[in-house]
């Protein structure tokens, strides 16, 4: 879980830098930034294909167990622009980063793109106005690695009793 959260933060930071946009986590309290901006939200995280890999490393005073599992996370992005068309252009720009521009960065942090959906209109009607937004979803693949110390012992004492 911690690895996923850190990856999402790294991706958001680099995406914001490369696109020169403010990108915030969706569904959180606080003031909204000045338009234009985008939001992201993790809407799914599930086990990927294949078995969990378990390996051990023997240290001087402890045995370390490493469990590595492939995971797929779905991240939803929405863009909010100064106009309907501006919002669409922002969403296209963000999507292109995942489809092309950000590939080298994602490779550096060991993230693969599984799928990027098409940009779609996600405008919603509020009480007396419309919330103009466009968005898309991206599925990333990453490795979740857990490292734990395993209790370890050097000697075992056995008491054997002979039966009749």
Cβ atoms of residues 74 and 43 within 8 Å: yes
Question: For residue 147, what pLDDT is reported?
Answer: 85
Is residue 1's pLDDT more than 70? no
Q: Has residue 27 been placed in a domain?
A: yes
User: Among 154, 143, 137, which Cα is nearest to 63's?
Assistant: 154
Residues 2-19, mean pLDDT to the nearest whole number: 89
Q: Has residue 29 been placed in a domain?
A: yes
Question: For residue 146, what pLDDT is reported?
Answer: 83
Question: Which pTM was predicted?
Answer: 0.80
122, HSE (Cβ side, Cα atoms, 13 Å): 19
| Max Cα-Cα span within the chain | 92
User: Among 17, 6, 21, 128, which Cα is nearest to 81's?
Assistant: 21
Q: Has residue 124 been placed in a domain?
A: yes
> What is the CATH classification number for the domain harbouring 33?
3.30.2000
Band (129; pLDDT cuts 50, 70, 90): low
CB burial of residue 75 (10 Å; 0-12, 13-18, 19+): buried
Q: Has residue 41 been placed in a domain?
A: yes
Question: For residue 105, what pLDDT is reported?
Answer: 95
Per the structure, the count of domains in the chain is 1
Q: Has residue 64 been placed in a domain?
A: no
Q: What is the pLDDT of residues 62-104, one digit of tens each?
A: 888 888 889 999 999 999 998 889 999 999 999 999 999 898 9
Strand partners, 44: 74
Cβ atoms of residues 79 and 40 within 8 Å: no
Q: Has residue 107 been placed in a domain?
A: yes
Q: What is the pLDDT of residues 30-47, one digit of tens each?
A: 888 999 999 999 998 888
Question: For residue 115, what pLDDT is reported?
Answer: 95
Q: Has residue 57 been placed in a domain?
A: no
| SS3 annotation, 61-99 | CCEEEEEEEEEEEEEEEEEECCCHHHHHHHHHHHHHHHH
6 is in which domain, residue-wise? 2-46+71-143
User: Among 43, 93, 47, 101, which Cα is nearest to 69's?
Assistant: 47
Cβ atoms of residues 78 and 39 within 8 Å: yes
Tokens, residue 156: 């075992």
Q: What is the pLDDT of residues 146-159, one digit of tens each?
A: 888 887 666 778 88
Q: Has residue 65 been placed in a domain?
A: no
Q: How far apart are CA 141 and CA 156, in angstroms?
A: 43
């Amino acid at each position: 879980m911690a690895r996923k959260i850190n990856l999402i933060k790294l991706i958001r930071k680099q995406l914001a830098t490369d696109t020169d946009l403010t990108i915030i986590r969706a569904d959180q309290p606080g003031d909204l930034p000045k338009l234009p901006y985008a939001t992201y939200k993790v809407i799914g995280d599930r086990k990927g294909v294949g078995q969990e890999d378990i390996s051990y490393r023997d240290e001087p005073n402890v045995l370390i167990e490493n469990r590595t599992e492939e995971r797929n996370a779905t991240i939803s992005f929405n863009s909010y622009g100064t106009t309907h068309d501006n919002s669409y252009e922002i969403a296209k720009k963000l999507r292109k980063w995942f489809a092309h521009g950000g590939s080298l960065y994602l490779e550096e942090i060991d993230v693969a793109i599984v799928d990027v959906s098409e940009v779609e209109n996600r405008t919603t009607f509020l009480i007396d106005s419309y919330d103009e937004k466009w968005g898309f979803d991206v599925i990333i693949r990453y490795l979740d690695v857990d490292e734990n110390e395993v209790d370890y012992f050097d000697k075992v004492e056995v008491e054997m009793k002979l039966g009749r």
